[in-house]
Amino acid sequence: MASEVDVSSDWFEALIGGAKAPLGEALTIVERGGPPARALLNRLHPRSGNAHIIGITGPPGSGKSTLVNELAIHFANLGRRVGVVAVDPSSPFTGGAVLGDRIRMRRASAHEGVFIRSAASRGFLGGLARTTHDFVRVFDAVGYDPVIVETVGIGQSEVDIWQVAHTPVVVEAPGLGDSIQALKAGVLEIAAIYCINKGDLPGADAKRRYLRELSARARDHAPDWKIPVVTTIADQGQGIGELASAIEDHARHLRETDRLHALEHERAIAEIRACLQAFFVDAPLAKARSSGALRRLADAVAAREMNAADAATAMTHQPSSDDFAAEGNA
């Protein structure tokens, strides 16, 4: 693996040429973070901004992974290179992805035109991983288009996908809970496309009627766009072409209006927010954990010797481990 980022190196040239081996290495560099990741992303950033980002979100059991599998193959069969970021739940023991992309998307992962990478959510709310923005940036910069982001599937809290994707696709399936509750939770409100997967199951017609009624209502964040309702049976490959066409129609709509510029601005703000969280939350926590200070602070808070706000303040000031210990014993 390249230890330094050098735009003149054979490794970097192979990376921007789309070779899979350096792409996998680049994603690993980004996932590990630190100065090498920053240097690599700085080199790649000016090359990005060309890919269409598709977000696939929805409740567990809706068949998102099967749908992504078929959608990726569809685009790849058209001669396009497709990147997939599959956000998985994190193991509470290792912090790594639990489900694993190759298990869920075996057909797509075997296709020459598809590259799939899992990203552990590591407890990050909103259904996304902290590395999602950076993984998308890498795929985009090296010529993968579209890039599909599949959220973790934790239920109705996955609204952050609109901050990453140009075209959020909300996947529903017949019989999966109360649609009114889903609407209240906000997931249906962020959609550019509604997809009813498992459309051969009982209740599909009722789900379709409800979503069509919903799509007819005016939505502030998508003016002049009527949200299509597409029915698929992903495990049989049915409806995938129609879904892909709806995605292309939305991409065209964004290009022909000022919405694409507005989306890029919103995505930039979301990336900045993610970086702030990494710099001022993740980094102090990692430092305190490695030094043992986090354990001591947690013990002090649990023993009611200090409160959580003071513990957090202590970590953001980044004192030495001795200072942590002294403050915990105060």
9-40, pLDDT tens digit by residue?
889 999 998 899 999 999 999 888 888 988 99
The reply to whether 233 falls in a domain is: yes
Q: Tell which residue, 282, 187, 174, 304, has the closest CA to residue 233.
A: 174
Nearest to 107 by CA among 216, 237, 204: 237
Asked whether 175 and 206 are in contact (CB, 8 A), the reply is no
Predicted pLDDT of residue 135: 93
Band of residue 225 on the pLDDT scale cut at 50, 70, 90 = confident
Residues 122 and 149 in one domain: yes
| pLDDT for 296 beyond 90 | yes
Greater pLDDT, 30 or 214: 30
> Higher confidence at residue 104 or residue 162?
162
- Mark whether 244 and 286 lie in a shared domain: no
User: Is residue 292 domain-shared with residue 280, that is, in the same domain?
Assistant: yes
Examine the domain organization and report whether 2 and 67 are in the same domain.
no
Inter-residue contact 108 to 69 (CB < 8 Å): yes
Same domain, 217 and 290: no
Which structural domain range is residue 300 located in?
A: 267-328
Residues 275, 70: Cα–Cα separation, whole Å: 33
Predicted confidence at residue 152, as pLDDT, reads 67
What is the strand order of the sheet 229-231 is part of? 114-120, 82-88, 147-150, 53-57, 167-172, 193-196, 229-231
The tokens for 1 are 């693996």
Neighbours of 106 (CB within 10 A): 11
Work out the mean pLDDT of the chain and round it to a whole number: 80
Calculate mean pLDDT across residues 110-129. 69
Task: Tell me whether residue 107 is in a domain.
Answer: yes
Q: Please indicate, yes or no, if residue 191 is contained in any of the structural domains.
A: yes
Domain-embedded: residue 206 = yes
Tell me what the mean pLDDT of segment 66-75 comes to: 95
Residues 150, 85 contacting (CB under 8 angstroms): yes
Domain count of the fold of the chain: 3
In a domain, 262, yes or no: no
